[in-house]
Amino acid sequence: MERVLYNINKVIHPTSTELAALVKIIQPRVIEKGEHFLREGEICRSIAFIEHGSVRAYYRVEEKDICKDFLFENAVIGSFASFFSQFPSALNIAALEKTHVLQMNYEEVIHLYDNYPSWQKLGRIIVQDQFVKAERREASLLKDPPEVRYRALIEEHPKVFKKVPLHYVASYLGITPETLSRYRSKIKL
């Protein structure tokens, strides 16, 4: 909790009243390894900050998972598209390891939005941030070859990708596990 509030403080300077209102709606929650935070077809009723741990966001296509993203400490998880529209999600989100999150539900977020200027501003900033990230991810997906994306991934989170099954990573890169395995053996030398 403290770290998240600390990070918020870098962006926004809420009053003590505002802070209290936020703290009131935050629900700490532990997501076990493999447990889902959100399933395709469900409406995303809450979003959450990751305190520690990691999750994967993926689409399910023809009996196979296609990873769209991996998310770590301080990231915001949920399908923003589904959360904001309150329409069913196309996305699944599941924990890669035991993950502690701070979650807030839709009605309460909207209430915060409408009643506390600081939180409205923070909401806007988070959405902007998601856009910037989405644009970067999209650019990388279109521009960078799989090897480059693989290296970026392991360089950014070396510890995590020691533990994550490689077929998740392969699906993120848009290649088969066999091909990823061959990349790895080449790169290591």
Partner DNA sequence: AAATCTACTTGATTCAAATCAAGAAAGCAT
Partner DNA sequence: ATGCTTTCTTGATTTGAATCAAGTAGATTT
Which residues of the chain form contacts with its own copies (CB under 8 A)?
59, 61, 66, 68, 79-81, 84-85, 87, 90-91, 124, 127-128, 130-132, 134-136, 138-139, 141-143, 174
Q: How far apart are CA 33 and CA 55, in angstroms?
A: 9
CB of 131 to its own copies, least distance (A): 5
Q: What, of DNA, its own copies, none, does residue 179 touch, CB below 5 to 8 Å by kind?
A: DNA
Between CA 140 and CA 22, with CA 83 as vertex, the angle to 5 degrees is 105
Residue nearer to its own copies on the CB measure, 54 or 92: 92
Residue nearer to its own copies on the CB measure, 1 or 152: 152
Q: What, of its own copies, DNA, none, does residue 107 touch, CB below 5 to 8 Å by kind?
A: none
Under rule CB under 7 A, how many of the chain's residues touch DNA? 17
Is residue 88 part of the contact set for DNA (CB under 7 A)? no
Q: How far apart are CA 96 and CA 143, in angstroms?
A: 27
Is residue 151 part of the contact set for DNA (CB under 7 A)? no
- In the list 9, 17, 120, 176, the residue contacting DNA (rule: CB under 7 A) is 176
CA atoms within 13 A on the CB side of 26: 18
Is residue 123 part of the contact set for DNA (CB under 7 A)? no
DSSP 114-179: HH-HHHHHHHHHHHHHHHHHHHHHHHHHHHS-HHHHHHHHHHH-TTHHHHS-HHHHHHHHTS-HHH
Q: How far apart are CA 67 and CA 82, in angstroms?
A: 18
Q: Which helix (H) or strand (E) is 111 found in, with range?
A: helix 106-115
CB of 6 to its own copies, least distance (A): 22
Backbone angles phi, psi at 56, to 5 degrees: -115, 145
Residue nearer to DNA on the CB measure, 16 or 185: 185
Is residue 36 part of the contact set for DNA (CB under 7 A)? no
Binding interface with DNA (CB under 7 A) = 145-146, 164-167, 174-182, 184-185
